[in-house]
Structure 1
């Protein structure tokens, strides 16, 4: 399932200059070469700080309702530049999209990406002991569920403890059973979470998968002032804290759902420094 080191080294030799200013990038690293997968679905772009040597790594999951977007179109234009300037390796991840690939395909891909970069951290100058997850919207849901439900990483002989912290930005999908409490989830969710099976909804709900016995990393749950998202973030934070884990739900003022992602890391932005501070607080020595 893993690419050979020589392939990754060859990619280093062809670093793209089409990255944001002050960031070098290795394009289209295939993180899962299992039979039957379209390689385009399982690629990642790796943005590098200057002279990476044991740099912490951020894996970013883009939004798009689980049905559209990719590792470039789903990023704000400032993110890679900002986080690499702060000394992080920033990895933007493609994943299979619904409806052709319904849940849990997206979760399986997140876990495969974590496993790949955990194994190959040295080859990109990364520190496998300081790996973080970040996501926006659908990507926030995916990051949260992968860090909470141990079954996905267990397929790669890993546990959520390999993730040192999670920043989840403005998802309203942390509890689909509550969303579907009137007997159905909204049409918006149907392409990904098919049918009306509440067992599927529960399995896809990070809030309902929290267990005291799982080594769940600390969470920073960011939300904006819009319908549903604040209550779902607070509910997930409460579930994590009640189970003995560490989580904070925090309102981001003067941003909407889209601008939270689009403006992340721009000049004067206060959210990206908050995220960096959170990640640094979780870092291993």
Structure 2
């Protein structure tokens, strides 16, 4: 990691694009970084949606969302990561960890506060953000721990296995894996363990879970969020969920770039930005 050359931020925009966060040279292992002019700013590491099979940081409205947070004094890292089917699990979560490590290591040189690096995701990106914040093994691989995450913002994701494979017989699990998950997932158990609910522990960082009004029941995003919140709070972990009025799965994310968006304000309050 030390040999990676840091691309300079534009002095006019505070933006650097296509920064490699791994040494492989893979074009998917890159991020765009947006930094505000103020010093000691917090930073969000953002993971896009796309069912772990698609999506890209260059797609609209990601740059506009990053610029909106930048205007509020928040650094914003838009992360690309390796995708199915060319890169089976656990490649996406490994890249999420590598990207977080890169930002944590380098943000101070950009004027940011390395103790205030957050992770955020939408849909499948939120699955990655949630798992990174609960299963310490991925951060440990990069010599970090859960306490290195200042906080986590999740938008529009389930918290546990939507196929409910875990409660089935071994034979049934194998059939489900072969029918729905192979070859992206190496096993049924790998899929079961890829959700935050499988890793409840006392070191989970504080968390804000945002759920669009239109996605509360099908799938059961709201009920799973409440279950997760209760399980974490029993261990003293601060978890808070909000239902976003008049929002769908996609508009909850898309409207974050609009001036005066109330849900952007929820995130800024979570970051303690006034």
Q: Please confirm whether the aligned pair reaches a TM-score higher than 0.5, indicating the same fold.
A: yes
Asked if the contact 1:62–1:75 (Cα under 8 Å) also holds between the matched residues in 2, the reply is no
How much does 1:188 deviate? Answer: 7.2
Cα 1:105–1:178 shift into 2, 3 Å: same
Say yes or no: does 1:220 pair with 2:208.
yes
Listed one character per residue, the Cα deviations across residues 71-108 of structure 1 (whole Å, up to 9, x for unaligned) are: 12164453112211111111100100011112211111
Match of 1:237 among 221, 229, 242: 229
- Given candidates 27, 46, 50, the residue that maps to 2:33 is 46
Extract unaligned runs of 5+ from structure 1: 18-22
Query: Any idea what the Cα deviations from partners look like across 1:31-83, whole Å, max 9, x if unmatched?
Result: 111xxx3421110000121x242211110000010100111216445311221
Name the counterpart of 1:115: 101
Which position in structure 1 is the counterpart of 2:2? 2
Question: How far off is 1:267 after superposition?
Answer: 1.9
1:113 counterpart SS class: helix
1:153-164 aligned at under 5 Å gives the runs: 153-164=139-150
- Cα deviation, residue 244, structure 1: 2.1
1-structure distance, mates of 2:266, 2:102: 27
| Misfit runs of 4+, over 6 Å | 185-188
Distance in 1 (CA, whole Å) between partners of 2:121 and 2:103 is 17
For the aligned residue pairs, the C-alpha RMSD in angstroms reads 2.3
Give how far 1:272 is off. 0.5
Aligned partner of residue 102 in structure 1, secondary structure: coil
CA contact 2:61–2:257 (8 Å) conserved in 1: no
**1:265 is matched with which residue?**
257
User: Residue 42 of structure 2 aligns to a residue in which SS?
Assistant: strand
TM-fit CA distance, 1:147: 0.8
Does the residue aligned with 2:261 lie in a helix, a strand or coil? coil
Structure 1 Cα separation of the partners of residues 61 and 230 of structure 2:
29
> Is the contact between residue 130 and residue 195 of structure 2 (CA under 8 Å) also seen in structure 1?
no
Structure 1 pair 193–121 and aligned structure 2 pair: CA distance change class (3 A): same
Aligned residue-pair number: 262
CA distance in 1, matches of 2:155, 2:178: 21
Alpha-carbon deviation of 1:167? 0.5
CA contact (8 A) 2:48 2:57 kept: yes
Unaligned runs of 5+ in 2: none
CA distance in 2: counterparts of 1:68 and 1:254, whole angstroms: 26
- TM superposition shift of 1:191: 6.0
TM-score, normalising length: structure 2: 0.87
Of 114, 125, 150, the residue aligned with 1:139 is 125
Bigger Cα displacement from structure 2, 232-241 vs 248-257: 232-241
- Pair 188,223 (structure 1): closer, same or farther in 2 beyond 3 Å: farther
Judge conservation of contact 2:101–2:142 (CA < 8 Å) in 1. Answer: yes
Distance 2:241 2:270 in 1: 13
